Amino acid sequence: MVGFDHRMLRRDVSRVAASISWNDSVPALATKAVLADEGELTAHGALAVTTGIYTGRSVRDKFIVEDELTRERVWWDNSAAMSTADFDRLLADCIAALAGRTLHGQDLAAGADPRHAMAVTVFTETAWHALFIRNLLIRPQAPGGAADVTILHLPGFRTDPERHGTRSETVIALDMSRNLVIIAGTAYAGEIKKSVFSLFNFHAPMRDVLPMHCSANIGPAGDVALFFGLSGTGKTTLSNDPARPLIGDDEHGWTEDGVFNLEGGCYAKTVKLSATAEPEIHAATQSFGTVLENLVLDDRKRPLYDDISLTENTRAAYPLETLPKVAASGTGGVPGTVVFLTADAFGVLPPIAKLTPEQAVYHFLSGYTAKIAGTERGVTEPVATFSACFGAPFMPLHPSVYGRLLEQRLRTSGASTYLLNTGWSGGGYGTGGRRIDIASTRRLLNAALSGALKNAPMRIDPIFGLAVPLAVTGVEPQLLEPRRTWADPQAYDAAAQKLLALFKENFRKFGTVAVNEAAE
């Protein structure tokens, strides 16, 4: 911002590069990607690509430029700093490296609400990355205007740590003052998407907009619901509902008068994807122009969703209109229901609980789920995972900034907030517990969305202080009281106290931010 001329940078890049293909269509980009041997078409016309050694985000290689705007605002405990001089040197070297190169340029937008939209120009070396970001951001009817954000994406460029102030030959560097992003040394496409989200998350609170890492959908009566949750909690699955059009899959803003999607597409995980359990997403992976990341194909060019030989983080990137039920405007009114999803592998949290605004802020700042044995090397028992605001790596400001905005929105809107546990019951993972069945989870969610739980009789959980409904239609009463599902109640008490202690320990890093009474 602060008056940076993105048009001049556009001219500099255009002057150095041999040529730039501007705003190619999906068919053109898919064709160019195949001809350049960047990927191959599946039997259904999706583009299958691999990303090399980086099959996920390179968290330790992400930097934010420290300057007058960011010095007192950024949560530096969560972000690595880069000097303006190092960034400028890196930018100059990247532009020089474009000499004689053919690039792909896309003029896109982030933010379905025009009052808060950002015009985004992406330069990239490869057609498939241009297709990826074209699928995921909003495609304006008249591209080519002045940009608010410029992203230079050069997966083939290697940085010099001594010269550029980087940790390795890979870098994701964000200049928040000028809204410039440099991504180099990694082909993982998610870095492009998340850099846009990180920029939005920095600027939005200063405009009284709450940025959110969540899904959103809208009911028949116009009722909007938000779904927060870390990987593996069911966010994408539960928000894709044939009866409730999807506003967006992953990134949103909440203003005083409603919510808006930041994106124009979905970046869905595809590991163990099932046509039965997730028919809409499964169908999207078989659409022409969808980008499939690191999915192995069989000899008939069909995706093998259970094959994780390249990575468990297999992905599909497709436009929202690929789905059968979407909110065309990408916007919705003020949310009436907010759902925090967790997959509690300790098996001690209730399957659903109604939260007070204070409890909602506490669980929002905690961002809890649990990894299970077998998901990572060396993990032999459940491991608590906390990610502030359900997306700490993309939140440049201190979590309390977002927490205060959330509390304000909840109190003003009167939205009901629920903690929905899609994890284990009857014991922890690997100790006799079983994952809560999806049918019960959907009944619990539907009860929350319908308003049936708003004034329902509740009990207060003696350990976590949560309000738990006494009964939900179609759900076994015993499931609503986790201690009753355990063969050994004392073992439940010990596991519950252990998780409560982990919550308290995690929350200490937020300093003087108000602590939920349930953790007192």
> Annotated catalytic sites, by residue?
57, 194, 213, 231, 235-236, 250, 315
Which residues on neighbouring strands pair with residue 261, listed in sequence order? 252
Task: Give the separation between CA 49 and CA 500, rounded to whole angstroms.
Answer: 43
Please name the residues in contact with 200: beta carbons below 8 A apart, sequence gap of 6 or more: 110, 111, 118, 211, 251, 253, 262
Provide the CB-side half-sphere exposure for 25 (13 A, CA).
4
Please answer whether residues 347 and 426 qualify as being in contact, where contact means their C-beta atoms are separated by less than 8 angstroms: yes
Look-up of token digits 């390795």:
168
Give the separation between CA 258 and CA 315, rounded to whole angstroms: 29
* H/E stretch holding 104: strand 102-110
Residue whose token pair is 């550029």: 164
User: CA-to-CA distance for 118 and 109, rounded, in angstroms?
Assistant: 6
C-alpha 70/C-alpha 74 separation (Å) is: 5
CA angle 183, 155, 85 (to 5 degrees): 40
3-class secondary structure, 20: strand
Whether 269 contacts 314, CB under 8 Å = yes
Q: Are 444 and 351 in contact (CB under 8 A)?
A: yes
**Coil/strand/helix, residue 376:** coil
335 burial class (0-12, 13-18, 19+ CB within 10 angstroms)? buried
